[in-house]
C-alpha cells in the first residue's frame, strides 16, 4: 500500500464488485464458479506475463528463481487454460459474467493508464553487465 491508499481502494472495489455480482447471481455455487473463472484467468495471465517479461527483458534482475523454469510455469499455464475452457463449457453464464467483469477492468485500466502518470515508486532495475565499465 502506498500513501494514497491504493491497496485499500483496490480491495474495496473488488468487494463492491463481488457484492453486486452476488446479488445478481443469487446462487452460491454460481458465485463460486464466477470467482473460480476470474481467478483462473488472472493467475494464468500473471504467469504468462512472467514468461513474456523474461523473454522481452532478459537483462532485468531476477531476485526470485522459479523451480523448474520454464516447465513449471508452462504446466501451470496449461492447467489454467484447461480450467478456463472447462468453466466456459460447464458454467457458461457465470463464465460470461467473468469475461464481462474482466473486460470492464481492462477498459478501466486503459482509461487510467491513458492519463500517463506512472505509479508512485515505479522503477525498473537493470542488471549491470559484467566486465564492461
102 Cβ partners below 8 Å, 6+ apart? 38, 41
Sign of CA dihedral 70, 59, 40, 84: negative
This prediction has a pTM of 0.66
Cα separation of the two ends of the chain: 37
Over residues 23-54, the pLDDT tens digits come to: 776 777 777 888 889 999 999 999 999 899 99
In this prediction, residue 133 has a pLDDT band, given cuts at 50, 70 and 90, of very low
Where exactly are the structural domains of the chain?
A: 13-109
- Chain segment 56-77, per-residue pLDDT in tens: 998 988 888 888 989 999 999 9
pLDDT tens readout for residues 78-130: 999 999 999 999 988 888 888 998 898 889 888 888 876 665 555 555 555 55
- Who contacts 23 (Cβ-Cβ below 8 Å, separation ≥6)? none
Amino acid at each position: 500500500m502506498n500513501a494514497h491508499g491504493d491497496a485499500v481502494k483496490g480491495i474495496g472495489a473488488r468487494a463492491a464488485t463481488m457484492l453486486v455480482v452476488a446479488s445478481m447471481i443469487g446462487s452460491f455455487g454460481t458465485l463460486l464458479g464466477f470467482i473460480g473463472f476470474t481467478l483462473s484467468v488472472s493467475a494464468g495471465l500473471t504467469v504468462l506475463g512472467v514468461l513474456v517479461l523474461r523473454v522481452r527483458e532478459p537483462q532485468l534482475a531476477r531476485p526470485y528463481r522459479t523451480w523448474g523454469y520454464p516447465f513449471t510455469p508452462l504446466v501451470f499455464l496449461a492447467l489454467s487454460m484447461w480450467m478456463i475452457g472447462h468453466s466456459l463449457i460447464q458454467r457458461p453464464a457465470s463464465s460470461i459474467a467473468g469475461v464481462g467483469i474482466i473486460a470492464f477492468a481492462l477498459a478501466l485500466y486503459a482509461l487510467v493508464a491513458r492519463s500517463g502518470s506512472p505509479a508512485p515508486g515505479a522503477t525498473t532495475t537493470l542488471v549491470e553487465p559484467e566486465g564492461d565499465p
